[in-house]
Amino acid sequence: MEKIPPSKASRRQGSKVMISYCPCQYDLAQKIAEGLIAKGIPAVCPPLRMHEMIKIAAEEARVVIPLTSEAYEASNISKYVLSYVDEVSIPIVPVKAQDRYSQSGWLGVICAGALWTRITNANDIEKRLDNLIGQLHPYISDAFDDEQRLATLAQGYHMQWGKKFDMFAMTNGYIAGQGDDEVGGFVINGKYTCLSDKEDFEFQFKKHYIGQHDVQYSGTITHN
């Protein structure tokens, strides 16, 4: 297995290890999170709701562990969440959660060259957790005292079939979200800053259509 130097993340807002999983992996994801917490490493296993997973990644994740497998690769939730994580350069440390599996397609592109640990069941956690922690260490060594107070400025939504769907949130200077429209599935990431009057905000974000193209947005939020 080839080793490569850890890449620098363009955003290091969070302080936790987040587990990214698909529906059939919930128990394994919970056990890995519990094992990390028992070792003193802040970890979160978010609910299996796409928008909430992306929001937690944006607000809390210092590094993300995807549980790679055929089921994970086939999961739309996993694809959207990990595409967002990759888009905003949050470090990714994969766990191979299936024997005789090699990721391909979108997952193979995102995880190409990354170090990984094989954990397919609870017994593997006990044997290989320390190895996983060693791979996480370059990203989390300075994170333990970096908890931030989160303040959400605004939330956006879109209407489809007469229903309102959450699409993005603006929290602590960052914009994150996801959704679908007539073009296809997309993830959103960007930033906002307070203008000199300290009441209005300037924002810019990118709407990345997965596997397609990007659309840039910018503007101001005013308080009248």
Q: Other C-beta atoms within 10 Å of 129: how many? A: 19
DSSP assigned state of 217: E
Confidence of residue 3 (pLDDT cuts 50, 70, 90): very low
Measured CA angle at 48 (ends 170, 180), to 5 deg: 55
pTM of the model: 0.69
**What domains does the chain contain, in order, with CATH numbers?**
16-140 (3.40.50.10140), 152-221 (no CATH)
| pLDDT > 90? residue 18 | yes
According to DSSP H, which parts of the chain are helical?
Answer: 26-38, 50-60, 70-74, 76-87, 105-110, 122-140
Confidence of residue 89 (pLDDT cuts 50, 70, 90): confident
Between the CA of residue 172 and those of 13, 33, 145, 176, 221, what are the distances in Å?
9, 25, 17, 11, 15
Asked if residues 207 and 168 have their Cβ atoms less than 8 Å apart, the reply is no
Mean pLDDT rounded to a whole number for the chain: 81
Arithmetic mean of pLDDT, 56-80: 93
Q: What letter represents residue 102's amino acid?
A: S
Q: What is the pLDDT of residues 145-167, one digit of tens each?
A: 444 444 555 566 555 556 555 56
For the sheet containing 117-118, what is the strand order?
A: 43-44, 16-20, 61-68, 95-96, 117-118
